[in-house]
Homo-oligomer: A and B are copies of this chain.
Amino acid sequence: MHLLPFSLSLTLLLLLLSLSLAECRPDTFNKRQSHQIHPLRRQTGSAGTTTKVENLSCSSWQLAVETNNLRDWDVIPASCESYFGHYLLGHRYREDSSMVTKEAAQYARGLQLSGNGKDVWIFDIDETSLSNLPFYSKHGFGVEPISETLFDEWAAKGAAPPLPESLKLYKEVLSLGIKVVFLTGRTEEFREITALNLKRAGYYSWEKLILRKANEVTITALQYKSAERLKLTEQGYKIVGNIGDQWSDILGSPEGERTFKLPDPMYYIS
């Protein structure tokens, strides 16, 4: 019953955020007023262009981040807040995500499955299955250092909308007979609220929901996730696909038969 309003919530939230940001942040969003139709409306142009502030090309920074050339960065460059505001609240983030999940769905449809119920697809949660954009948009889209406490307060609400493209992929993957495993860096204390949030967002079932145990918080996400994937293969599962927004979701043996990297310019997890 609650699925329809919830699936609309991301769109509505983004609309409201556009309006509130336009009003509250004239210093940031209006400084290039003369080139803009509306503070958070897309600007005209094409591939030959870039937003260049303080000799930094935000689009080059973004590409370097997405290709894993830049690593271990803390926050997005301050001069790129407006650039990423436009990117994330505009259609580009949606289109970039869609290109990835459509390719993933096409790959999934072409798979020769074992049919023994042991074929699984791994979905990361934050910025993959669920979108924390309503939270990050209130904190400069990654320009502010985010304390764990602050993010935990948001996660505890269980109110994150789905990333629409991933939800579509999830449904397609399930319809093909592939089981879904959620593998997240969130800790066990968030199991209940995370499960509730996933269901609210439309992810109604799964084979496993793997969260980080207390003794796993000192290792990197890459080490933790690789180890969990290894356990799955040892349990007889075949990881036919693996999708995440961080390179630490998809690097580290066993990666899965094929990996997919969703865009995320907001934060870096090693």
Taking a contact as CB atoms under 8 Å apart, the answer to whether B263 and A70 are in contact is no
Total copies of the chain:
2
Contact of A96 among B45, B64, B260 (CB under 8 A): B64
Asked if A51 lies at the interface with its beta carbon under 8 angstroms from chain B, I say yes
Taking a contact as CB atoms under 8 Å apart, the answer to whether A70 and B103 are in contact is yes
Taking a contact as CB atoms under 8 Å apart, the answer to whether A43 and B48 are in contact is yes
Supposing A66-B67, A67-B261 touch, asked if A48 and B87 sit within 8 A by C-beta, the answer is yes
- Give complex CA distance A57, B90 in Å: 14
Q: List 22 A-B contacts (CB under 8 A).
A: A42-B49, A43-B48, A44-B45, A46-B83, A46-B86, A47-B59, A47-B84, A47-B87, A48-B86, A48-B87, A50-B91, A50-B92, A50-B95, A59-B96, A60-B95, A60-B96, A60-B98, A63-B263, A64-B96, A64-B103, A66-B67, A67-B100
CB nearest to A265 among chain B residues: B47
CB distance from A18 to the nearest CB of B (A): 11
Asked if A25 lies at the interface with its beta carbon under 8 angstroms from chain B, I say no
Asked if A69 lies at the interface with its beta carbon under 8 angstroms from chain B, I say yes
Supposing A67-B261, A99-B64, A261-B67 touch, asked if A46 and B57 sit within 8 A by C-beta, the answer is no
Asked if A2 lies at the interface with its beta carbon under 8 angstroms from chain B, I say no
Q: Which 6 A-B pairs have the closest CB atoms?
A: A45-B45, A42-B48, A48-B86, A60-B99, A46-B51, A48-B90
Asked if A61 lies at the interface with its beta carbon under 8 angstroms from chain B, I say yes
CB nearest to A68 among chain B residues: B261
B-chain residues with CB within 8 Å of residue A57 when the two chains form the complex: 92, 95-96, 99
Asked if A181 lies at the interface with its beta carbon under 8 angstroms from chain B, I say no
CB distance from A38 to the nearest CB of B (A): 10
Residue interface bits A64-97, CB-to-B below 8 A is 1, else 0: 1011111000000000000110110011100110
Apart from A44-B44, A44-B49, A59-B95, what are 18 other A-B pairs with CB-CB below 8 Å?
A41-B48, A42-B49, A43-B46, A44-B45, A46-B86, A47-B62, A47-B87, A48-B87, A49-B92, A59-B92, A60-B96, A60-B99, A61-B99, A64-B99, A67-B67, A69-B99, A69-B103, A69-B104
